[in-house]
Structure 1
């Protein structure tokens, strides 16, 4: 499931990216494993920079649009190479990493890494091998900024000839066709350790893992002839013994003897029931929420995303997991497009602004139709921004009713019995729309509501791309903002509910990561309703939380503004 979700996410990104930056998850996480303490490996490369192995390969590229880099393996040990520029490069990091040798401009791997580390990046990064390593809490993120080649290394051509029985020829062809990468680390025993680049086959390794069948691998590649037949016969005999064979295994014996002594006990061996439906759903929706599309502040790119997804949806090759992931991606693209479209046209002439408003509303309604319960809050934000307070009120009431259902899954919190009773056996699309709620993502390059622009700008200054807001926090905020002038009693009730939630929630609704923004929003709502002393306290509490969203600059600015009011 996890592999399928990452595959479709990367495929959409690949279809969309021509000259831009590509990203690929690698390592154990890419293989679908979630191991405690394991780091997360990412590879990044730019599509407008291509590595070739010989000058004749330059004919396949447009040198006006792409920077070509040539390999020089003449003085490097196997698996390593020097890289030098064949054409001018305007990239600042690459230009600063160049060293001159033999009248050529070589890209130094060590200088390239140091240039990356000198950039203003969050989490105080350090060098870890060929990676820029960042630690977020207990999680280690390793980013390998590399170069890509569309061609298979000549020095590895013998591998192709060795693949007789495994992997299959179509897999080998696919691997060779996708080339390799170059990561910034040299061979310690080489002549040019500081300047060399290591050839990386991470993409090929992924493809091999996907097609690896251990028995196939064992019998066809590891063991041959008479020994293969003898081992197969022995394994077949053990299989025929059935349960008695398992009694010889120390790891299984204790479980089996317990059942034999107590017939009322049972051991489930059905694959479909080894993991319960609700646990699988929680994992599925969690993985889907973590695989998000990048925010592009360009309406044309958003439209291209929609066209790309539209072409893929009808493909018979998609798995059931990829279909639901495309549904989620469609929702996110529609939301981005609606607000970006409004940002680009709200100062335009009345006729154009009216059309843009209609289109944005339609896109957000479509997103809500296919998205989870809390995706309706994006419509509420849009109507608030465009002064449609009556519509906001109506939408918020609908969301309240839906969120009040006892079977709703919010993040990892769910009443298992109620959830199974309500939606067990339903499609994932139905479950997503009727029984799933998630935190609201506000991409900091997109303006949703003016009251949160200072927080978004503060986060952007600290290289933090998204605000994550618990749905009830945003719901109460919108109620307060809409009712504060016309229906003060309703606004006060919403403020009381918001204050109770922020003060007394113990992680069921407000996760630890959202404490800073939740206290901040409480302070904003108290300030706009005139309770300045309470607002000051809330802002101070926001500063005391873990600074997940990097909004401290906005918080300090708001505190300073309140202090000036107190002085006046």
Structure 2
């Protein structure tokens, strides 16, 4: 490949489009950072801490990416020296000592229990060695694997390394049940000193990493070792995430380029690859810290090549030093050296940078530039994206957040956490995330409280309903357009059908505007609201699905569906706002006895389902959508129509896991039809 600077800029722009522009990556990280800030006080309150790690948390959005989650108990305190014992309250905390000795390989520790365990998880993982209690990584993994299998949220649960690997819907999730420490061990001193001597990472990042600590995950180094069951691996996932976020965008794209090349070329058609994404990440860390490279768009291919040569060098030597603990050779106990893998990589090396053409993704980026020497782009084109597209990306990231399946007390703790955060200055995207989460928390609190509250008099009841309505109005005024539908749901729930109809007309008018952002994007029309603030655009033009959480009654007609979804591990039902408008209208007119308007609304609802191409009623929600149509027909006495709708519901993708509810309703309708015939 000649004219490397030109080709590098083409690759840079192509990777920006594939992986994300700087603004998009910043949005992803900002939203996740805010979610963690909101969640942290709640997690501390419950004692169950968790954080997202891996590619998704780092800012990648690959279609095939899984979700990596680390989970630990706030009451388990790990220390590296016995002198640190006095820091903690032994009446509240379980104290665990990390032992490093010649019997454990670098990067691994043995965990000795110093106090009486405060929970059964510690007790069930204890083994005795010479009268001293140690934590068994094997028992720990088995215990949490069983817990994961019993959780109906997940399916296809299995053990993979230190993690429980499971699926939620079609998303693969790696759950690492671990232990956390803020006391750095002696063996990590090399990394700390090295980082102080180099300009990367910056001092403030290093200080934050040292403050946040690290984890121990339940896996030993060598299964043949007599201490394998007692060994726990030091994990620096939280520090790694901070380091990735410190990368400039060229470095981040080079990291993504290496990941794509690994997946589509090196590991293509290999069932058990010897190289993994962690080796790629470690390569990036070493090269950024130790090598003097110009990390800029027109040098991207040279940056890739430098990293690739380091990778080959490690494979040839059979030594791949861990970034945090160089004494830990990550190739140890692996069949790596000058064998097949080296020959494979050396073949790519002899091809030069043109080996990138072996990747379908990278070839599609490079071919236009290689076909003609006049084809060129400027790297700034990789940063250009319309306000509309940025808003759509921001909306997708924020609306993916969830705080479902909580008690009223937990929601109240969450609201206090949000209130404290409003005192600080954040990026516009983080501020918007905080605003959205405020609206969602208020909505959830109202329905949870309404479900559990008891009033002794009518006066108390009316006062409480008025308070709930006012809170939902506030939520609707600070949230997105569709959040007002929760107020309409509440009106229907308390029998204010005229109020429901009036509100539906108002919301329908707002949702019918051509600039509405739902799952479709009208670029030209949306530009008319771009003059507003980001908050104003959300309140004026963004729409989201309604989320009905299990255990809370939003509307009587869907209780059966919520119960059946919960039995199958789905704790939230998702309903299109456009569908909600129609079926609430149908039911309200029916309750008011307005037969003609009921029939018209029912016809509108059916037309929406039959004619929509997935823009207004998403394909993966249509099982519940057809079910709702059937319920509306059933309520009005159209048994044949209800029968057909329920049957159609069973033909859809079972996204909401309500098949048993559908079958139950079918039996009722069939029984009624049979009774009519008799």
With normalisation by structure 1, the TM-score equals: 0.87
Match of 1:177 among 211, 225, 236: 211
Contact 2:201–2:289 (Cα < 8 Å) also in 1: no
User: 2:42 & 2:544 partners in 1: Cα distance?
Assistant: 27
2:359 maps to which residue?
none
Match of 2:480 among 346, 354, 372: 372
| Secondary structure at 1:409 match in 2 | coil
Say if 1:272 and 1:319 are closer, same or farther in 2 by CA, change over 3 A.
Answer: farther
Match of 2:125 among 97, 100, 105: 97
1:245 maps to which residue?
none
Between 125-134 and 94-103, report the one with greater CA deviation. Answer: 94-103
How many pairs does the alignment contain? Answer: 544
Match of 1:60 among 87, 102, 107: 87
User: 2:644 & 2:91 partners in 1: Cα distance?
Assistant: 58
2:145 maps to which residue?
117
- Does 2:64 match 1:33? no
User: 1:201 & 1:476 partners in 2: Cα distance?
Assistant: 51
Contact 1:339–1:446 (Cα < 8 Å) also in 2: yes
Match of 2:420 among 304, 311, 323: 311
User: 1:525 & 1:89 partners in 2: Cα distance?
Assistant: 55
Say if 1:60 and 1:450 are closer, same or farther in 2 by CA, change over 3 A.
Answer: farther
Shift of 1:179: 1.4
Contact 1:151–1:178 (Cα < 8 Å) also in 2: no
Match of 1:362 among 466, 470, 480: 470
1:244 maps to which residue?
none
2:657 maps to which residue?
550
- Does 2:176 match 1:144? yes
User: 1:254 & 1:389 partners in 2: Cα distance?
Assistant: 60
Could you give the per-residue CA deviations for residues 42-77 of structure 1, whole angstroms, max 9, x where no partner exists? Answer: 112222222223343232333333333332344422
User: 2:64 & 2:461 partners in 1: Cα distance?
Assistant: 51
2:22 maps to which residue?
none
User: 2:117 & 2:672 partners in 1: Cα distance?
Assistant: 53
User: 1:187 & 1:437 partners in 2: Cα distance?
Assistant: 50
1:8 maps to which residue?
34
1:293 maps to which residue?
403
Contact 2:41–2:413 (Cα < 8 Å) also in 1: no
User: 1:104 & 1:270 partners in 2: Cα distance?
Assistant: 62
Shift of 1:91: 4.0
Contact 2:548–2:574 (Cα < 8 Å) also in 1: yes
Say if 1:95 and 1:212 are closer, same or farther in 2 by CA, change over 3 A.
Answer: same
Shift of 1:351: 4.3
User: 1:87 & 1:10 partners in 2: Cα distance?
Assistant: 31
Shift of 1:368: 0.6
Could you give the per-residue CA deviations for residues 355-379 of structure 1, whole angstroms, max 9, x where no partner exists? Answer: 3222211211111101111111100
Contact 2:69–2:174 (Cα < 8 Å) also in 1: yes
Could you give the per-residue CA deviations for residues 181-218 of structure 1, whole angstroms, max 9, x where no partner exists? Answer: 12222212533323432111001111122223579999
2:334 maps to which residue?
none
User: 2:661 & 2:112 partners in 1: Cα distance?
Assistant: 45
User: 2:89 & 2:457 partners in 1: Cα distance?
Assistant: 41
1:383 maps to which residue?
491
2:108 maps to which residue?
80
Unaligned runs of 5+ residues in structure 2 are 1-26, 252-283, 300-352, 355-364
Say if 1:436 and 1:100 are closer, same or farther in 2 by CA, change over 3 A.
Answer: same
2:550 maps to which residue?
444
Shift of 1:400: 0.9
With normalisation by structure 2, the TM-score equals: 0.74
Say if 1:212 and 1:268 are closer, same or farther in 2 by CA, change over 3 A.
Answer: closer
User: 1:460 & 1:348 partners in 2: Cα distance?
Assistant: 31
Say if 1:258 and 1:559 are closer, same or farther in 2 by CA, change over 3 A.
Answer: same
Match of 1:330 among 415, 424, 438: 438
Contact 1:9–1:293 (Cα < 8 Å) also in 2: no
Between 433-442 and 43-52, report the one with greater CA deviation. Answer: 43-52
Between 267-276 and 371-380, report the one with greater CA deviation. Answer: 267-276
| Secondary structure at 1:124 match in 2 | strand
| Secondary structure at 1:83 match in 2 | strand
User: 2:32 & 2:580 partners in 1: Cα distance?
Assistant: 30
Between 489-498 and 353-362, report the one with greater CA deviation. Answer: 353-362
Contact 1:409–1:436 (Cα < 8 Å) also in 2: yes
Say if 1:346 and 1:381 are closer, same or farther in 2 by CA, change over 3 A.
Answer: farther
User: 1:557 & 1:111 partners in 2: Cα distance?
Assistant: 42
User: 1:209 & 1:327 partners in 2: Cα distance?
Assistant: 27
Between 198-207 and 472-481, report the one with greater CA deviation. Answer: 472-481
| Secondary structure at 1:125 match in 2 | strand
Contact 1:297–1:446 (Cα < 8 Å) also in 2: no
Contact 2:515–2:522 (Cα < 8 Å) also in 1: yes
Contact 2:67–2:173 (Cα < 8 Å) also in 1: yes
Could you give the per-residue CA deviations for residues 466-497 of structure 1, whole angstroms, max 9, x where no partner exists? Answer: 11101122222211221114211111111112
Match of 1:282 among 373, 392, 402: 392
1:435 maps to which residue?
541
Unaligned runs of 5+ residues in structure 1 are 239-248
Matches within 5 A, 1:250-289: 255=369, 267=377, 270=380, 274-289=384-399
Match of 1:204 among 225, 239, 263: 239
User: 2:433 & 2:208 partners in 1: Cα distance?
Assistant: 25
User: 2:156 & 2:569 partners in 1: Cα distance?
Assistant: 12
Shift of 1:174: 1.9
1:482 maps to which residue?
588
Between 328-337 and 165-174, report the one with greater CA deviation. Answer: 165-174
Could you give the per-residue CA deviations for residues 384-441 of structure 1, whole angstroms, max 9, x where no partner exists? Answer: 1111111111110011111111221112x12211112x21243221111111111111
